[in-house]
Every structure is written in structure tokens, then in C-alpha cells.
Structure 1
Amino acid sequence: MHTEDTTLEDLLTIAVRQARLLCATARGVNCGRTTRETATAARILQGLEAGNVLRDDLDGGLQALHAHLSDAIATEKVGYRRVFDGHHDPEGGDVGVVREIPVLSDRGAALLPVLRRCEALIAARDAARDRLRAEQTLRRLL
């Protein structure tokens, strides 16, 4: 995300939107492998729905949610499929590589968009918080 020309208000709007989208994407999805992880995820999502996405106490929770989701997805791989990544050159034939892409179970496929939304929220929060701190520092210097 290029944030150099984006206002603080716009960065905050993006972070709030990402939090809303994360909560909507996670609705109805069991985001943990254990009862404890599921409860932690539910608590973090409730906190996001209830208030300020820049709260410092969300840092550890979002990192924990990201770790839980990553670990859960890693256990949901049911195999691999090969995909060609490249193009066909009429004179030289196929140019590229064959990659093995994991095939996820239904649960893993449901968790993946939640993980992507979590990553987007973390990035949006970081950008907004960096801009906020920079503006606060500039105000102190002036």
C-alpha cells in the first residue's frame, strides 16, 4: 500500500474498513483449532467490532489471531496440485516453471480469506499508526 500521499483520515478509514471486512469474513467460521483459540479469536473480533482499531491492546491479539489462522490452515492441506506459471513462446516452447500449490480442505478454504483480511488489517493499522505518530512528532517539534 502506497501511503505517502494518503491523509491520516483516509488511512484510518482504510483500517476501519479492513476491520469491518475481517469481522464479516470471519462470521460463521471457526477460527481456531482448539476451544481456547476459538475463544481468543471471538474476543479479538468482538473488540474490533466494538471500537477503535488503533487500540494498542489489539496488537498482541491480532498477531495471535494471525498465528492461529496460519497454523490452522497449515493443518488443512489435503494435497498439492501442479500449476504452470509462465507463457508459451512460439519459437522456444513453454517458458516458465511448474509450481506445486497446496489444496486445502473446505475448512482451510474458509480460513484462507480470513487470514488474508487479517493481514490486510494489520498492514492498514500499521500505516495509520505510523502516520499518526509521525504527525504527532511533527506537532511536538513545531
Structure 2
Amino acid sequence: MTLAPLLAAPAMVQVHAFSAMAALGLGIVQLVAPRGTLPHRHLGRVWVVLMVTVALSSFWITSAARGHHYSYIHLISIAVLVMLPLAVLRVRRGNVAAHGRLMVSIFFGGLIIAGGATLLPGRIMGAVVFGW
């Protein structure tokens, strides 16, 4: 494992990747820590900002192999940007169960599934983790 491919990437790719890694770590903490506590709420706000950063920064990342067009992963970014405010609205209105379902969906779709796709050969994170 080497960070060299990521550190050689454009700044927006670095912002995107480091925000995603921070959101992944914090998301795991949020999933296993007690819910409804003051730390959960404060860390949740940080996680939302990280996820907005991840989603928005993705729109500045395209592949030359695709003619610099958007990919299916960008649809996940749109979904994240729609679902995040809905999740916050749900918890503010007292619907904690819906909030939880939305946040878990965002975590798995926006970080696990989309993140898994970045580990494929030819992708920067694949080179970071596996050295392709």
C-alpha cells in the first residue's frame, strides 16, 4: 500500500478521497456508538459535511477513458445530496427510524459500494491499496 498515486493526483481527487476516508472512519464510529447522544449529534454533523464534500467533489472527477464524462458513480453522488437533507429533516421531525435507515443507506451506498468501485484496476485507489 502506498499513498503515492493519490498524492500525485489532482487536488480535487485528493479532497474527494481524503474526505471519503474520513467519512468512512467516522461513519463506522457513528454506526457502533450509542445513538441520540450529544457526541452522536455533533459527530453526525461533521459526517454530513464530509459526505457533502465527497459528493460535490465527485463532479470535478471524470475519466479521460470515458471522454471526461460522468459515470454511474455520479448518480450515487446525486442520491447522497438528495438523501442527506431528507435524513436530517426526518430526525428533526422526530422520525428517528427513518433517519437511521437513510443514514445507513447513505453510508453503504455512498461509501461502501461507490468506494468499492474505486478499488478496481486502473483506478487511483486501486493503485493505492493494491499497487496495480
TM-score (norm 1): 0.37
* Structure in which a larger fraction of residues adopt helix: 2
* Structure in which a larger fraction of residues adopt strand: 1
Report the structure number with the largest CA radius of gyration: 1
